[in-house]
Chains A and B, each alone.
Chain A
Amino acid sequence: MPSLPQTAGADPAAAAAAARPPRRKELSNLQFALVVTVPVLLFLLVVVAYPLGYALYLSFHEIRFFGGYSAEFVGLANYKAALADPKFWRSLGLSLRFTVETVVLTIGIGLALALVLRDLKPRWRWLRAMIILPWAVSPYGAGIFFAYFGRGQTGIGTALISAFGFDGTLNLITQAAVIEYLALGAAWNMAPLVAFFLLANMLTTPKRLYDLAKIDRMRSYETFWHVTLPPLRFTLFVFTCISTVLALKTFDYIFTETQGGPGNSSTVLTYLLYQISFVNLDLGYGAAMSFFLLALILGTTGLIYALWGRREERK
């Protein structure tokens, strides 16, 4: 327990504050909350409402840049076009595949790392600090790392097979499995943070529970399931949500790693949006499609909450 503030502290302001008689007038909860939150909420309102409103406007218009800027109202045509666009459905599928794989790998690898780090003896604890480092790498940097790491010309695959005396290249970034490779790199980036929060949870589980499990002659997987896992469930839920949102939003990581390729095999929804809005400059269409992405992000997190979060919610 941290000590309560001392009146005889070195800080004169604190001493004065404590010596002063209790305040006569107090704000109500609502007033206090308003004072604190209203400026932030106004800021957020501007940064949420403004771009959303602007994007909504764009999505109902056909924007042209050739022959001078023009915006023609087209109603829901952009939305209908998106729903009829096979590219949209393909990218949606790739986004979901990338997200599911990333989340499963992130949580799984995070859990595995935490279990390994938990059992280290004090003189090896500094290894914990080493393992968290990938999390400090930007998605942008991680994309560069995994691009060179996977490519046939420069990558680990070719280095390995040539070490065993084979000629030729082994490319890890292939049309068929590029999404899996991307998911692995995204998990590399995020899993250490998950591991650290899980580790913090694990260290608060009383040791006697493990002793009891031993007396009950639980097998190691039973101990894991009944003793180790239950206190971690809320953290696992929170990070499932966070990594789902981040994976669906991922752009810079894919931009530096594969540029949506090879071919268009990793053109996830965010990358397709980038191509439509920034390469083709079809702003109205891009804006309409981005609302489907937003709906997807909100829908997925809502679903996770409905299926899982409600049970974990703390009172």
Chain B
Amino acid sequence: MSRSRYPVWLILAVAVALLWTFLPMYWVVKYAFMTKSEIARFPPELYPHAPQLAAFYNIFGFDYTAADGTVFPASGQANQIMLGLRNSLLVSAIVTIVTMVVVLPLAYVFARMDFPFKGKMLAAVLLSVSLPPVSTLIPFYTLYVQLGLVGTLGGLVIITLTITIPIVAWLLIGFFKNLPPIEAMGRIDGFSRLYIFVRIIVPMAKSGILVAGVIGFLFSWNEYVYAQVLVTGSDAVTLPAAMSGFLFQVPEPAQLAASLFLSLLPPFFIAFFLQKHVAEMNFA
């Protein structure tokens, strides 16, 4: 029994917040459990009347036979979806690791040291945050054709790094700035810069670093524009690019919803784990 009761407005506010959070997602994810005729019905159904998992079997290349004998044939895109799932995990993992290895020292140096040309170098980092993909796409595509990087995982990793490095650096610089000035003490004790960074600063900043890493992972996992142009239809396809087949080529709402649902699971899992750490990270 709780000793003090919540005021009515708070209960209402929480209810509104939950509705706001889940209703738009639910509206599409419910399709994954519905039949084609149910989806096409008008006015729209609020929930699947006979929930079934056909779409999930289909996107992995299996036929599905319902209890009444209806057969849901396997999706023609199954191959792309499975490749996409594997590639997305692979690319995001590599991108996140490389980003963190590169950005941690970079952000640290920019946040806590003074040296000539710092302002100009920082401006270069921040300028790359501002570049819109629609204007960099054609130059990159031309370059990639010449280098033979179109349709390769390596090419996608490189181009995704151009998104994650600047934004993660931006976040981490702000975070490192707020740590207490511990270096001077470490230096007096005779520790090297590298030692101070690896053994003192990084453990102190653990929460902030985790959060920044997760943000980098999500930017990579959710990247669509470059993937659509560079790897669609190839063996290096990622999940968002593979899914777009259900959207534009053959509209298959159930299979689209199922693969979208699938694509949400890893980030949800991570975001869930992340929220414990956000409370400890006060970057501003």
Q: Contact residues of A with B, CB < 8 Å?
A: 2, 4-5, 14, 17-18, 21-23, 26-27, 29-30, 32-34, 36-37, 39-41, 43-45, 47-48, 50-55, 58, 109, 112-113, 116-117, 119-121, 123-124, 127-142, 144-146, 148-149, 153-156, 158-159, 162, 185, 188, 192, 196-197, 199-201, 203-204, 232, 234-235, 238, 242, 245, 248-249, 251-252, 256, 270, 273-274, 277, 283, 286-287, 290-291, 293-294, 297-298, 301, 314
Contact = CB atoms under 8 A, between A and B. Distances in A.
Contacts of B127: 48, 298
23 contacts: A18-B195, A22-B191, A29-B113, A43-B161, A44-B124, A45-B124, A51-B139, A54-B143, A113-B17, A121-B6, A131-B17, A132-B271, A132-B275, A138-B263, A140-B240, A144-B28, A145-B25, A162-B43, A197-B284, A199-B278, A199-B279, A204-B282, A291-B135
A154 B17 CA distance: 23
Interface of B: 2, 6, 10, 13-14, 17-18, 20-25, 27-28, 31, 39, 42-44, 46, 102-103, 105-106, 108-110, 113-116, 118, 121, 124-125, 127-140, 142-143, 161-162, 165-166, 170, 174, 177-178, 190-193, 195, 199-200, 203-204, 218, 221-222, 224-225, 240, 244, 247, 253, 256, 260, 263-264, 267-268, 270-272, 274-275, 278-284
Contacts of B240: 138, 140-141
A48 B115 CA distance: 23
Given A148-B28, A252-B224, A277-B137, 8 more contacts: A29-B113, A29-B114, A34-B115, A41-B121, A44-B125, A130-B21, A137-B222, A298-B130
Nearest to B103: A40
B274 A51 contact: no
Interface centre among B131, B166, B253 (most CB of A within 10 A): B131
A248 B284 contact: no
B165 A44 contact: yes
A158 B41 CA distance: 12
Contacts of A297: 130, 132
B172 to A, nearest CB: 13
Contacts of A37: 106, 109-110, 121
Contacts of A145: 24-25, 27-28
Nearest to A27: B193
Given A32-B109, A33-B109, A116-B10, A136 B270 contact: yes
Given A2-B203, A116-B13, A148-B253, A127 B18 contact: yes
Given A41-B124, A44-B124, A153-B42, A283 B263 contact: no
Contact of A277 (B44, B138, B140): B138
A161 to B, nearest CB: 8
Contacts of B143: 50, 54
The 4 closest A-B pairs by CB, nearest first: A290-B135, A138-B222, A22-B190, A136-B267
Contacts of A119: 10
Contacts of A52: 131
B276 to A, nearest CB: 8
Contacts of B225: 251-252
A50 B23 contact: no
Given A26-B193, A201-B284, A277 B134 contact: yes
